[in-house]
Amino acid sequence: MKQINFKKIEKKWQDKWETSKCFQVSEKGKKYYILEMFPYPSGSGLHMGHAFNYTIGDIYARFKRMQGFNVLYPMGYDSFGLPAENASIKEKTHPKKYTELAISNFIKQQKALGLSYDWTRLIKTSDPEYYKWNQYFFLKFLEKDLVYRKKAPVNFCNKCETVLANEQVHNGKCWRHTDTEVETKQLEQWFIKTTKYADELLKTDKLNWPERIKAMQKNWIGKSQGTEIIFNINNEKWPVFTTRPDTIYGVTFMVISAQHPKLNQLVTKKQKSVVQEFLKKIKSVSEKDADKLNKLGVFTGSYAINPINNEKIPIYASNFVIADYGSGMVMAVPAHDQRDFEFAKKYKIPIKQVIKPKDKSISKNLKEAYTGPGHLRNSEGFNGLYYEEAMNHITIALKEKKLGKPIIQYKLRDWLISRQRYWGTPIPIIYCNKCGPVPVPEKDLPIKLPEKVKFGKGNPLTTNKQFLETKCPTCNSKAKRETDTMDTFFDSSWYYLRYTDNKNNKQPFNPKKAKYWMPVDQYIGGAEHACMHLIYARFFTKALRDLKLLNTDEPFINLFNQGMLHGEDGFVMAKSRGNVIDPLDTIKKHNVDSLRLFLVSIASPDSDFNWNAKGIQGSSKLINKFFNSIKEIKTAKSSSKRLESKLNRAIKEITNNITNFKYNLAIIKLRELLEAFLQEPASKKDLESFIKLLSPFCPHISEELWESIGNKPFISLQPWPKVEENKIDKNLEEQEQTEENLISDIRNILNLIKNDAKNIYIYVLPTELKNYNEKKLTEKLEKTIKVFAVNDKNKYDPENKSKKAKPNKPGIYIE
């Protein structure tokens, strides 16, 4: 085989794409917006997971472009954030320098992959031209009452040295530091009212997303229908949320969250020291872990009055009740709730059964809570009611006494966006001793991050006088700037909008341009963002719609989650495992098109797969074969009917396969099609169609081939081949299928007899004789094959196998 100078070909076409600006778009024609989740530009550069993600997107973008869409396919960098700050402290450089270097490195690597981005739309979130609009949105949200400041128990990671949003606490641990327990601190922080959109965020029926992601969002938002019941405690009204008002007669104790801001009010003098001791012990317990930990508790000394029967009920404090869900206090029913049951057993609190299981009597010695259905017992006037009915009746009875009402609760919390770190967007607020917190006037934006700062412990903004000291915009007296910066998820919540108009310095984006391009038609990224980025971005879109800046309800209509890339050892590719393969090394060793082909041919792109050195060699061989053999093809005036049929079948299926991200299947078909082109005469037009089908996967060799058969660039901008259904010959396909079946039958027999055969005789129905080609069968099976019609008088048939022939199923005799 001829040596191919891939380096030269790649450079040639990457340069031509760049200088001709052929992937640059403006607002005209039928749009298609395709987007990959933009990367965080880390110093260690692009890894194989990125390469996989972008290859999937690039194939789609090229395909849609050839289908005639005006494709917006941009790239940018999520360049603010803690890892850059930490890395630059370690390397004694500045986060800005670190980030700029990382970005230029990323761009170089992405260009080497041959990705067809419109590079003129590039954005960097750490650019003041970008984060100015974060500040603008913050102020707009503030005007609309979507931002507020509150002292609240918040999650703090000691390693990150900052608070975290609820979404960034995973199983009680920091999302970046899976070994670090999150601590609860009382701090005054800025929140975004995501909960205002909880109900709308729950509606996902319009979204073509993986069901798994939709379910995760639904769970995260966590809508519960229940009743709020007012308990009287020391002559004060305390609301309590329950989903089981039918069990109200079974309440034998109350539990208030150990983190409840009003806990102290309930602690009696006598209990004070015990409670304090207890609080020390459980100091830090986060939401997700609360359930798993031992159900520890302590008596507060106070009692609540049950509104249904005026019973006096002891109140405990415990870590199993979450401070900011419901009202942070629960009515405990140990007979019918397992957590309450364990707690009652532990602290020897009475257990009162009020739901009687069907066909069973109430047992004296409960081993566990009964949480199933049943009729009410021990519940005065409600006895005998089925539990579901009783929920209504009891809620109504309480409502009449103004001691309860039906309500809805969400698990979703407002989004805490304050971060006590430097490398992020400054929150545009000024604190004045006279006026309190004052928003920075819009005309003063952006509030830029000072570049000269001293890194050390904590946030350097708090010690930077130049930044810190300012004047109050309202009364002009001395005032101080907010030193917290925004969670970087704020940046990524609207970047897809900035791409539609990235150079606008008067607005975050022109609403007309956004109207043309939005929503993103196809979004591609990992599943890890199900409950963070994807919820924030959906919230943003809805909030901006209500600010009349946008006219779409959802940012991302279709979502594709790529699979996880594993190393050759079977573990997820990760530096810490030492199983990482560098995409650039692979490109150097083989070539870009081989890497692209390998990444999407080994498995369906939405499933996990292992890196495999042999596999990439295989792809490389295939690329060589495609290139060398297509170059050799001498085109004819017209294609054979057989080739026409195969080509049109392939166009039809490959189009379908790419549309559905079944790239691996498309590549199998391209392979088969190559064989057909090598065996049959082909017209130039049909050969062109073949190269076009190949081009989204292997754009570099395809451009080169396109040019080598006498065409002008670019194949990337050529129309996608159209199927001519009438050229698909169903009879021919059936024939080939029978022939394939026959070959596989014979192979099976040969396997059984350990290939111990010389001649093979085939007996077919006379009408089918034309379907079997002796020469081809002989070649394929590497045995001498003779085919007879069953009515052939001169046939050789010593064992009368011709009797066995059936339609499409010949008789076989092996000698």
Q: What are the counts of helices (DSSP H) followed by strands (DSSP E) for the chain?
A: 25, 32
**Nearest distance, CB of residue 80 and Zn ion, angstroms:** 16
Q: Cis ω on the peptide bond leading into residue 446 (within 30° of 0)? A: yes
**Nearest distance, CB of residue 165 and Zn ion, angstroms:** 12
Q: Which of residues 505-564 bind ligand ANZ (CB under 6 A)?
A: none
Closest CB to ligand ANZ among 290 and 687?
290
Closest CB to Zn ion among 180 and 378?
180
Out of ligand ANZ, Zn ion, none, which partner does residue 14 contact, by CB within 5 to 8 A per kind?
none
**Can residue 472 be called a binding residue for Zn ion (CB under 5 A)?**
yes
Ordered DSSP codes for 441-481? PGGG---PPPS----SSS-GGGG-HHHHEEE-TTT-SEEEE
Integer Cα distance of 565 and 577 in angstroms: 13
Closest CB to Zn ion among 30 and 434?
434
**Can residue 244 be called a binding residue for ligand ANZ (CB under 6 A)?**
yes
Q: Report in angstroms the alpha-carbon separations of 582 from 57, 588, 609.
A: 19, 10, 16
Q: Which of residues 357-416 bind Zn ion (CB under 5 A)?
A: none
**Nearest distance, CB of residue 628 and Zn ion, angstroms:** 53
**Nearest distance, CB of residue 508 and ligand ANZ, angstroms:** 37
**Can residue 292 be called a binding residue for Zn ion (CB under 5 A)?**
no
Out of Zn ion, ligand ANZ, none, which partner does residue 811 contact, by CB within 5 to 8 A per kind?
none
Sheet holding 162-164, edge to edge: 162-164, 147-157, 183-192, 415-416
- List beta partners, residue 543: none
Mask 190-229, x = binds ligand ANZ (CB under 6 A)? ----------------------------------x-----
Integer Cα distance of 163 and 293 in angstroms: 23
- The CA angle 501-503-507, to the nearest 5 degrees, is 70
Mask 406-425, x = binds ligand ANZ (CB under 6 A)? ---x----------------
- Which of the ranges 2-10, 158-166, 338-346, 613-621 carries the binding residues for Zn ion, by CB under 5 A? 158-166
Instruction: List the one residue out of 563, 567, 598, 591 whose CA is nearest residue 581.
Output: 567
Mask 422-461, x = binds Zn ion (CB under 5 A)? ----------x-xx--------------------------
- CB-CB contact of 109 with 46 (8 Å): yes
Q: Read off φ and ψ for residue 314, nearest 5 degrees.
A: -70, 145
Instruction: For the beta carbon of residue 363, count every other beta carbon within 10 angstroms.
Output: 10
**Nearest distance, CB of residue 304 and ligand ANZ, angstroms:** 13
**Can residue 243 be called a binding residue for ligand ANZ (CB under 6 A)?**
yes
- Helix, strand and coil content of the chain, in percent to the nearest 5, comes to 45, 20, 40
- The CA angle 212-213-219, to the nearest 5 degrees, is 90
Q: Environment class of residue 381 by beta-carbon count within 10 Å: exposed (0-12), middle (13-18) or buried (19+)?
A: exposed
**Nearest distance, CB of residue 710 and Zn ion, angstroms:** 60
Q: Please select the residue that binds Zn ion; options are 215, 396, 408, 475, rule is CB under 5 A.
A: 475
Instruction: For the beta carbon of residue 576, count every other beta carbon within 10 angstroms.
Output: 8
Integer Cα distance of 251 and 351 in angstroms: 8
Q: How many residues bind ligand ANZ (CB under 6 A)?
A: 17
Closest CB to Zn ion among 68 and 436?
436
Q: Please select the residue that binds Zn ion; options are 160, 445, 630, 764, rule is CB under 5 A.
A: 160
**Nearest distance, CB of residue 231 and ligand ANZ, angstroms:** 12
Out of ligand ANZ, Zn ion, none, which partner does residue 699 contact, by CB within 5 to 8 A per kind?
none
Closest CB to ligand ANZ among 336 and 596?
336
**Nearest distance, CB of residue 571 and Zn ion, angstroms:** 23
Question: What would the two tokens of residue 643 be?
Answer: 């080739």
- CB-CB contact of 85 with 423 (8 Å): yes
Closest CB to Zn ion among 384 and 441?
441
Out of Zn ion, ligand ANZ, none, which partner does residue 247 contact, by CB within 5 to 8 A per kind?
ligand ANZ
Q: Please select the residue that binds Zn ion; options are 51, 112, 142, 157, rule is CB under 5 A.
A: 157
**Nearest distance, CB of residue 418 and ligand ANZ, angstroms:** 24
Q: Please select the residue that binds Zn ion; options are 111, 177, 405, 684, rule is CB under 5 A.
A: 177
- Which of the ranges 468-476, 562-570, 715-723, 766-774 carries the binding residues for Zn ion, by CB under 5 A? 468-476
Helix (H, G, I), strand (E, B) or coil at 5: coil
Ordered DSSP codes for 723-772? P-GGG--HHHHHHHHHHHHHHHHHHHHHHHTTT--SEEEEEE-GGGGGG-
Out of Zn ion, ligand ANZ, none, which partner does residue 242 contact, by CB within 5 to 8 A per kind?
ligand ANZ
**Can residue 238 be called a binding residue for ligand ANZ (CB under 6 A)?**
no
Integer Cα distance of 225 and 326 in angstroms: 11
Instruction: List the one residue out of 263, 345, 350 whose CA is nearest residue 313.
Output: 350
Q: Which of residues 307-346 bind ligand ANZ (CB under 6 A)?
A: 321-322, 325-326, 328, 330-331, 333, 336-337
**Can residue 404 be called a binding residue for ligand ANZ (CB under 6 A)?**
no
Q: Please select the residue that binds Zn ion; options are 34, 174, 275, 658, rule is CB under 5 A.
A: 174
**Can residue 474 be called a binding residue for Zn ion (CB under 5 A)?**
yes
Instruction: For the beta carbon of residue 384, count every other beta carbon within 10 angstroms.
Output: 12
**Can residue 427 be called a binding residue for ligand ANZ (CB under 6 A)?**
no
Integer Cα distance of 542 and 532 in angstroms: 16
Residues within the interface to ligand ANZ (CB under 6 A) = 224, 241-244, 247, 321-322, 325-326, 328, 330-331, 333, 336-337, 409
